[in-house]
Every structure is written in structure tokens, then in C-alpha cells.
Structure 1
Amino acid sequence: MYNQFFSRRYRLLRRATNLLCAAGLLTAAGASGAQLPPPIEVPEVIQNYQGTQDCFPGVIYDPSSIEEVQGIVRDAAAQGRKVMAGTRRFNSQIDAACAGNGEVQVTLKNMDQVVSLDKENHLVTVQAGMRFNDLTAYLREHELGVPMVTELAIFTIGGMLGSGTHGSTFTQKSNMISDYVTELKIVDGKGDLRVVNGEMLNAARVNLGVLGIVVEATIEVESGYKIQAKVKGHRDDDDLESLILDFARDNHSANIAWFPGLGRYTVTTYNKVPLNSKGNAYNAQADVSDFSEYLFGLIFDSLHEADSSALQCFAASLRYTARSSSYFRDVDTGFKKYIKPTGHADLMQHFVCKEPNNCVWDKLPIALQEVAIPFEELPNWIADVRQIVAHSERTCFPLNGIYFRFGKASNSYLGMSSGRDSAFVGIEYTLRQRGEAVPKNYFVNLEIEQMSLRKYGARPHWGKNSVAIFEDMPSRFPKWSQFLDVKAELDPNNIFTNPFWERVSGQDPLENYLTPECNADGQCYCRTDAHCESGTSCQAGNWYSDARICRAE
């Protein structure tokens, strides 16, 4: 957002840095004189996978050892600079892993190895820069697995712990990898290496990157098994409220895509079978031909611009059809597996794109809003969404429907399911960008978001969503103050503080983002007409009257 503004800031920052370096006033090692890895001395733009979020650090380091990470942090502390760990192409819509303009960015791309494997005690220790799909592949070779699997598995372990990345399971201890961590090694705000376990570990499991730089994690693993999947489309959604909790309770893993504008939903369930079961299938959701990608792009562009609901609902019908048939293929033959597709747990539950940085959704400006609500409240939430949809123009949620996943209560202080069994609810829509057309039925999505936050105490996903949705975050987590106590101990000088943390913690109140037309790009929920773009006014929601929506007058 505001890319032109930040691009100008970046050019000025780059010019200033070059001048300072030429004058000998800025050095790589700063005041501490520590031996550091070679920095990227000319500032480099860091972008997210969509190219919709830019970050402008003053320096980037790619350390290869814990000692180098310690040196970087000590050097930054001596200079009074902020530090944040992230990647150059981060898999988030927001700036949660950005150090801040002119600050110190650290990537752990050179720290991506398995440190040790204890098969007897079912523990693996890995460096935080390791990708999750690389970890699951390594464990599969040893007939082991992580007790949870997320659908998209290209995230780093450190990133997953920072944001609370989750999958869907209600029969395992947790749907977050964070809850299977038994010990962390963290470089704290003084540059010291801390071994974190015990109660402090519950604060660090989901840490937002603000407690320090996680460099190693020890993770519980379990004996390997295979998964048998079942995909079913339901052409009548009248029974959804009465069945949805049982889908979660009665299966190892389940996800549901609901298309309320069509009155349909799909259910994908995964259940354990022995490792020696016949079958070598994999999840092929991302196996899309170049031609299919091209057609999807055309439909996507049309969805954003269309004034009629007809095209949106046609696209939703196509998506429902795709999700209600098997999207599993055989590893060896490439043929689709329609009857009892069975394969290794990780390959069945996560999907990988044709190329690591070439997924169809990377090329499309998609906004993904996801929250977690109390599990038992989900039927009531669905009933309320039915009312919102019924009181609005026909809305079909064409990209992926309304997407449900599940997880048990977590001991983590800031996990989305902290202290309560949770249903995870996600809605995708075409990204709202200032000066561009309003996505069709965007206002229905805003009403659902605000209802989720204010009626159901929803907790937004830390790595997704817009600025506006992170309202009153400290009040949503019973152990927020205890998290702050741990941050004060590990980072007494606030070295690991960035703009995202300042917003969600309330240090930079969301009231500061109530600027003219702030609703136009997700910076705020309107409170007055001034917050809306020209031709619209701030009105109550059609069904949930506490919501405030910018609508045409």
C-alpha cells in the first residue's frame, strides 16, 4: 500500500546511504566492531509474495551461525537500531516480519539444516531457516512425521513460530507446529543466546518475532503413517450448522469450503491409515496448467471489475465443482485418484507449486482475511452469516468460499487458539487497492469481519488480514500481559520492535489510521463519512448493526 510513497522514500534512503558510505560515516560493523557477515550495504526492497507489500530496511544480513546472529544484534543494540528476522520474499500480506524503514533485517536462509534427530525420544532439532516441506521430507525418510501439517508448506520454521501457522486437526493435541516445540534457542535483545523452555516457552511459541531471533527449535515428532482422503460436495447447505462440528470431531483432519450464495459446501477429510497401506498419492491442488492459469487470471480480473453478481456466482460454481471432486494424483503415474486416495501424511495434506516462487495466486492481488472464533460458537456464527448474506445483494464468495479449519485449545500466550478450542474462518476476495474498483460484495465481507470481532471475540491471524482488523488485540488474549513480561525480560531495550508490533500492541493506536478515505485500502473501518471514498457514506451493516460500512449513498 502506498507503494509510490514508499518507493520515493526508498530512493531517498538509498541515496543518503550511498553518501554516508562514501563519506566514511556509515560502516557495516557500527559501534561494536564485532565480526559480522557481509551486509547488503545498499538498501534492498523486501517484498511479499504478491508484490503488494514493500519493506525498506537500511541493511540486510544473511548470517550462517548463531554467533553471527549474536554479533548482528549486539551491533544493532549499540547503534540503537531495531532488528527483525524475515525473508526477502515473505509469505504474508502484511509487514509483520519487516524491521522498519532504515532498520536491520536478518534472514536465516543460510541456517536451514537439521541439527539433530533423536528417534528414540521422537525429537528433531532444526535451524529456524529450514522450510517446513524440507523438514517433512526429511522426517518421511526416517518414517516419522510432525503431528500437524499445514496446507501450504513452504514457510520457514521460524516464520511459522512467529505467526502461529496452523493446519486443521481436532483429534491431535494441536493444529499448530508451535505447540509441538519442546525447546527454543533465541538470541535475545542483548545478543545473548537463551535456551527457552518451561512456562516461558508458552510465551515464545507464537512470538511475532518481538522476543528475539529464534535460531533453533526442538520439535516433537511421531511415528509415520499414511493418510486416506475423502472429498465430497454437498449441494444443499441446510444441514451445515448441525454437522460441521462433527466433521471436525470425527476425523483426523477436516476442512470445509462453504458457498452460501450457492447453497452448497464441500468437505475434505483426512484419516490415518498404517504406513504400509497401499497408495502413493499426493495433494495436487497446485498442479494447474499454464492455460488454466491464464483462464483463471481472466476470470479473476473480471470478478474484480464486474458490476453483476452473475459472473461472481459462475466463478463460485466452478470453484465448488473443483473442490468437490478429487484433487489427488498418483506420484508415479500422475493420474487422478478418485477412489480412496492414500499417501504419505505430509504429501496428502500439503501442496507444493510447480516452482517454489510460481504459484497461481502469487500473480493475483488476493486479500485473505482469517480469524479464529470459539469452536462451539461456529453454528451460531454460520446462522448470522446466513442473515448477512440474505440481507445483501447475492454474494457467492468465488475464490474459495468461506473456509473452515479447526484446532484444540493451545497453551501459547498469543496463539489464535490460546486457551480455547477454535474454528478458523477464512474469506478470500480480490484485493482492495486505493483508486481501483471496489471488489464485488466487498461490504458483505466487512460486515462479517466486524461481526466476528465484536460479537464472537475473534482473533485475527497474525500473518494475514488488513490493518483495520487488528483492533483491541490485547483484550483478545488473557495472557497478553504475561507476554509483555517475557518481552521485557528477553528484550529490555525493545530492539525487536517493528511497526506491526506497535500497531497490534496499541503503541501506535489504530485511531492514528483514521484518515480521509482510510477505508479505501483496509486501513480502517469507517466511523464517519470522511473515512469513506467519494460517493459513499459510513452506514450501519445490513444485518449486524454494530458494523460500519462505506456504501454508495
Structure 2
Amino acid sequence: MKMLKSSLLIIFFIAFRNGVLSSPPDDPVKCTSTDTNCTVTNSYGIFPDRSTCRASQVLYPTTERELISMVASASKSNTKVRAATRYSHSVPKLACPGGENGIIISTNKLNHVVNVDVENRRMTVESGVLLRDLIHEAAESGLALPHTPYWWGITVGGLLATGAHGSSLWGKGSAVHEYVVSMRIVTPATAEEGYAKVRSLSESDEELDAAKVSLGVLGIVSQVTLQLEPMFKRAITYVTKDDSDLGEELIRFGKELEFGDVTWYPSQKKVRYRVDDRVSMDQSGNGLYDFIPFRSTLSAVLAANRATEELQEATRDANGKCISAQLVTGTLKTSAYGLTNNGILFTGYPVIGQNNRMQSSGTCLESNDDALLTICPWDSRLQLQFIHQTAFSISLSNITSFIEDVKKLVGLQPQALCVLELNDGILMRYVKASSAYLGKTEDVVDFDITYYRSKDPLTPRLFEDIVEEIEQIGLLKYGGLPHWGKNRNLAFSQVINKYPNADKFLSVKSKYDPQGIFSNEWTDQVLGLKGAVTILKDGCALEGLCICSEDRHCSPSKKYFCRPGKVYKEARVCAFES
């Protein structure tokens, strides 16, 4: 009966995501009075350390001139400033100003397309333009940005600051910042210069390699010019195989296809390959990719799913988790993950369509407010999808070894990674080495995992030790680079030492913002300038605020103790002992 109930919930979950109504996420900045006494958060409504970020006020510039004036005022008074974006999809504390007297400058109204140069295939946009609007506007002129993240509810400024990407080792690669040809960024300046100025950077300026992945510590991006391509078509086919040769196949697959990605279900011993490549514009097809997890969802269904998972956690029901995971992955497969051949129906693979209809989605943003009856699944107002996200990139030379280590863990605990498969497994995307100082240092595979987070920070998770060990294998044993816009604190411990050009980045930072008004405690810690991201306290390892070194960092009262890893003995994880 429980299995049937879960199956029906998932069916309703799929069906109602096709509805036309929703409640788009709220602004992440909230103020008690008109634009003053404010708080800012991320899209999940909570930062990794669960702290509250406050600001004295929020400002909404509508033009570059207004932005310059705002930065000048902050610079003159030496007031801390951080930029905030429309939906605030960065998990770490990048949007927090430094202290309650700091200022938030929101780019919500800097959301205009400045120019489309069809002849030279270039497009200039303000930094608050959503990826969705950039893609659509380019398509209107017969142009395409070839690689983008899969979720289009992020701004151009936000995705560049965190190095967001799609999946490709071809050409310039999948990171959006590789297609930046110029940028205008407003930074502090001297009194003689009016306390603020616009720095206009082009491909000939070495400092562009600092500005195009900056964590927002150089200033506020005003405009970005991107190099585009003529519109083209893609063909997508999903193929599921066993994972016996995954380590070797990952390398071959990434080199063979321009847009392919891979999703791994380790406990099911299965791999889903997205066979995704460019095809001739002459090929027929008007396919659309409206990815199911990015559609509107009935909040009642999300609540029921959350209640089921909380019960499974409380009763340590590993078998129930695995049954639920198989239902989720099976239903997504049956529904072709949201692909349709004509925008309405899925009739079979391959699905062929223009790049703008296939590369990114997020239709839960495109509907009228229905008082939270349906929402984007992660909407912070209800916190029904309450999760951790871990994302790190491993060099191609270490991929096979990493995969084998994970397989060894699964061999020891076959049901352990059903906790990841409930959220569609481990997504693997390809990213090319970059000239950006804080970009990828080698050609890599990016591993992206999403998993349950308790509403109580002192409550451990089922198979917590296995997921923690994978996290530490990737980050420590194989020197993985964390995604700047995701992850828990431990991923950023001494991370700046992994970037050979860190000194060049910090030199530009010192030049652009010598007072550090665009830096906060978090960015100083991450960049190795002051303090550490590790927070040592009771239960800190449960939230990824530390790697445990004592039992109290886990939850000894609930029989979770700090122990060595099972495969990577140098790891320290919170393991359950009955």
C-alpha cells in the first residue's frame, strides 16, 4: 500500500507540473519598511550555516548612471556592499554584505538587452538579465549562446560570478564566461575620480580573466557582451546502460559528443547517457525540453513527498528509500524527462529542436501567482524541498579512480546511494580548462549531487557517512574544485590554494576595491584573506560546517560517531553504530 501511495504521488507530481499556474519564487531581499532594515537569503531560504544575513537597506538601480552613484556613496562612506540577484541561486553566503550596516544593491531592474549585433554575432545585456530572456532574445535574431546552465532562472551577472556552466569539452567549453568578449564593471575609485568609476574590459585586457569569474568581490557588473553563434539544432536521445565500464566510458563519451552529459544511479548500477549533439538545421523537428524538476509542482504533493522521506529517515528505512528512488527514476524515464517532439507530446527519440528550445528551462517561473498552490519545488516560503547540494569537479585523469572508489563504497553498502537517486542520482557534466583565474584549471567532469537535509541541524541523515566519504574523496583525495555557487562549508576549506592564478586574482581585487567594501566575511575566508570557513561546534559535521575530528562534531546521543572512511581511510565521517 505504501508503495502504491508513493507511486501515485509521483504520477500526480508529474501531471500537475504541466499546469499553467504557479507562484514564482519571491524576492530574496526582505525589508521591514520601505527598502530598509533588510535581510537577504538564497533560493532555499537558508544558508549552509543557517545564519541570517542583514543589511541596512536595499537599492534598485535602473541605469548604469544610478549604479555608479550608489557605489560612489558606499565608497565614500566606506560602507560594505554586495550585489543581489533576482532569485539568488547561489547556496553559499555570497549575497551577504559585511554586517547590519551594509547595503544590498539588487540588479533586478538592470534587466535590459542593450544591443544585438547580428552581423558580428554579439549581444550586450545588463547584468540582471535572466538567462531565459537572453536565450529568447538571441533566438529572435537567429542567434544562440551555445552553452548554458540547465536552469534559466539565473542572471547573467550571477552565473558569471560563480562560473556556471553546461556540459562540453568542445571548442571553448561549456562555461558561459568563456563567451564573454567585454564587460563593464562599476568599482570604487578615488575621491578625485568621484569615488566610483566604470572599468570597461575587453578580450585584450588581462584583467578580464579576473572579472569574468569574480565571486562579486571586484564591484558590480553593469553590462556584459557575449559572443554568439548562428542558431542551430540539436538532437537528444537518452540511453540507459549498466555502470560496469563507467570510468572509461565517461572519458570517451565526453570527447565524442558536443553537449552530452551523464547521470549515475550507483545503487541501481545504472547510468543514463544523454546523447546530445548538433545536427543540420535542415533536419525536421520542433522539439522542446521542459525539464520536469523545473516545472510547477503542487505544494501538497511536495509536502507528502517530504513527509514520506522524513519518515524513512526517522525509521532508517533504507529499503523504502530505494523503492521510492526507483519509482522516481522510472517515472522520469517514462516521461522522457520533459522532452517533447513538438512542444506537446513525446513520440520517440531522437528529439530534434533548435538550441534555444533544448538547452535550458524553468517554466515554474513563467506563470501567474496562485497563492502557493503550486510552486517551484525549492521555493523557500514553504521549504518542502529542503536539501544539501554538493558539486565538485575532478580532472579527467582521475575520473576512473574516483568512480572505482565510489563503486567500492556501494559494494559495502548497496542501498546507501538510494538517498541520492531520490533526487535523480549523480549528474556529471563536462567543463573545459579556463583562462579565468578562478575558473577550472584542467578539463574536468563536474559531479553534482543533491540529498536530504534535516530541518533540525543536530539530526543526522541515513547513510550520512557514505555521502560524506564521497564528498571527501572528491575534494581531498582527488583535489576536486568546488562549484562556487553550491556546496557546504567544508568544500571551501583552503580552496584558494588549488588555483595557480590566485595571486593574480587577488592583485586585481586589491586594485579594484582596495577598501574591500565588496568583500564580506565569507569571501575573505574563501579567498584565504582572513579566518577559515570551518565552524567547529557540536554537530558541525552533520551540516558540512566541518570535517569531524571528535565525536561531538557528529551526534553521539543519536549513535553517530566520528570514524575513518571505509575506502578512503583519511576521511573522517559521521557513522551510525547501533
Q: Take 1:511 and 1:354, find their aligned partners in 2: how far apart are those partners?
A: 34
| Residue deviations 1:275-320 (CA, integer Å, cap 9, x gap) | 3432112112234663765654454444543402111211221233
Q: Take 1:160 and 1:193, find their aligned partners in 2: how far apart are those partners?
A: 21
| Residue deviations 1:472-511 (CA, integer Å, cap 9, x gap) | 1121111001100010111111111012202212334337
Q: Which amino acid aligns with 1:169?
A: S
1:105-504 equivalences in 2 (<5 Å): 105-190=104-189, 191-197=196-202, 198-234=205-241, 236-286=242-292, 287=295, 290=298, 293=302, 296-325=305-334, 326-330=336-340, 334-356=344-366, 358-362=375-379, 363-392=384-413, 394-395=415-416, 396=418, 397-398=420-421, 399-415=423-439, 417-418=440-441, 420-435=442-457, 437-504=459-526
Partner-residue secondary structure (3-state), 2:160: helix
Identity of aligned residues (%): 27
Q: Once the 2 structures are TM-superposed, how far is the Cα of residue 195 of structure 1 from its aligned partner?
A: 0.6
Cα 1:160–1:221 shift into 2, 3 Å: same
Q: Once the 2 structures are TM-superposed, how far is the Cα of residue 184 of structure 1 from its aligned partner?
A: 0.7
Q: Take 1:333 and 1:292, find their aligned partners in 2: how far apart are those partners?
A: 25
Q: Which amino acid aligns with 2:363?
A: C
CA contact (8 A) 2:289 2:340 kept: no
Report the aligned-residue RMSD.
Answer: 2.3
Q: How many residues align?
A: 516
CA contact (8 A) 1:62 1:107 kept: yes
Q: Which amino acid aligns with 1:422?
A: V
Unaligned segments of structure 1, at least 5 residues: 1-9, 19-39
Partner-residue secondary structure (3-state), 2:38: coil
Residue 98 (structure 1) aligned to one of 82, 96, 101: 96
Partner-residue secondary structure (3-state), 2:41: strand
CA contact (8 A) 2:160 2:213 kept: yes
| Residue deviations 1:118-171 (CA, integer Å, cap 9, x gap) | 112111111001001100001111111002121101100000111111110122
Unaligned segments of structure 2, at least 5 residues: 1-28, 190-195, 368-374
Q: Take 1:512 and 1:248, find their aligned partners in 2: how far apart are those partners?
A: 35
Q: Which amino acid aligns with 2:376?
A: C
Could you state the TM-score of these two structures normalised by the residue count of structure 1? Answer: 0.88
Partner-residue secondary structure (3-state), 1:327: helix
Q: Which amino acid aligns with 1:359?
A: C
Deviates most, 478-487 or 519-528? 519-528
| Residue deviations 1:368-403 (CA, integer Å, cap 9, x gap) | 100011023211110011112223363122212121
Where has structure 1 moved over 6 Å in runs of 4 or more?
Answer: none
CA contact (8 A) 1:153 1:352 kept: yes
Q: Take 1:140 and 1:511, find their aligned partners in 2: how far apart are those partners?
A: 42
CA contact (8 A) 2:83 2:220 kept: yes
Q: Are 1:44 and 2:65 an aligned pair?
A: no
CA contact (8 A) 2:87 2:154 kept: no
Q: Which amino acid aligns with 2:481?
A: R
Q: Once the 2 structures are TM-superposed, how far is the Cα of residue 97 of structure 1 from its aligned partner?
A: 2.1
Q: Take 1:361 and 1:41, find their aligned partners in 2: how far apart are those partners?
A: 25
Cα 1:319–1:378 shift into 2, 3 Å: farther
Q: Once the 2 structures are TM-superposed, how far is the Cα of residue 548 of structure 1 from its aligned partner?
A: 0.7
Looking at both structures, which has the greater relative contact order when contacts are Cα pairs under 8 Å and sequence separation is at least 6?
Answer: 2
Q: Take 1:438 and 1:379, find their aligned partners in 2: how far apart are those partners?
A: 30
Partner-residue secondary structure (3-state), 1:343: strand
Could you state the TM-score of these two structures normalised by the residue count of structure 2? Answer: 0.84
Q: Take 1:470 and 1:339, find their aligned partners in 2: how far apart are those partners?
A: 41
Q: Which amino acid aligns with 2:239?
A: K
Partner-residue secondary structure (3-state), 1:272: strand
Cα 1:488–1:80 shift into 2, 3 Å: same
